[in-house]
A = this chain, B = another copy of it.
Amino acid sequence: MTTLRELGELGLLERLLPHLSAAGGDVLIAAGEDDTAAWRERDGSVTVATCDSFIEGVHFDLDWMPPDVAGWRACALSLADLAAKAAQPAYGLVALAAPASTEASVVEGVYAGLAACAREYGLRLLGGDTTATPGPLAISVFALGRATWEPLPRFAVEPGWTLGLTGPLGGEALALAERRPTRPRPRFGELAPGCVCGDVSDGLLRELVKFRTVAGVGARIESARVPVARGASLEQALTGGEEVELLCAWPGGPRPLTVIGAFTDDGRILVDGEEREGGYEHFG
CB neighbours (8 Å) of A11 from chain B are 104
Mark each residue of chain A from 202 to 225: 1 if its CB lies under 8 Å from any CB of chain B, else 0: 000000000000000000000000
Q: Known contacts A3-B104, A51-B93, A136-B133: does B127 contact A31 (CB below 8 Å)? A: yes
Q: In the complex, what residue of chain B is closest to A42 when comparing beta carbons? A: B43
Assess whether A37 is in contact with B127, with CB atoms less than 8 Å apart: yes
The stretch of A14-22, A167-175, A192-200, A231-239 in contact with B is A14-22
Q: Evaluate contact between A130 and B93: CB separation under 8 angstroms.
A: no
| Interface pair A126/B1, CB less than 8 Å apart | no
Number of interface residues of A (CB under 8 A): 80
Q: How many copies does the complex hold?
A: 2
- Choose among A104, A114, A283 the residue with the greatest number of B CB atoms under 10 Å from its CB: A104
Candidates B32, B37, B111, B136; contact of A19 at CB < 8 Å: B111
Interface residues of A in 22-43 (CB under 8 A from B): 27, 29-37, 39, 41-43
Contact of A2 among B42, B45, B104 (CB under 8 A): B104
B-binding residues in A (CB < 8 A): 1-7, 9, 11-13, 15-16, 19-21, 27, 29-37, 39, 41-43, 45, 49-53, 55, 57-59, 91, 93-95, 97-105, 107-108, 111-112, 114-115, 118, 124-136, 138, 140, 142, 144, 282-284
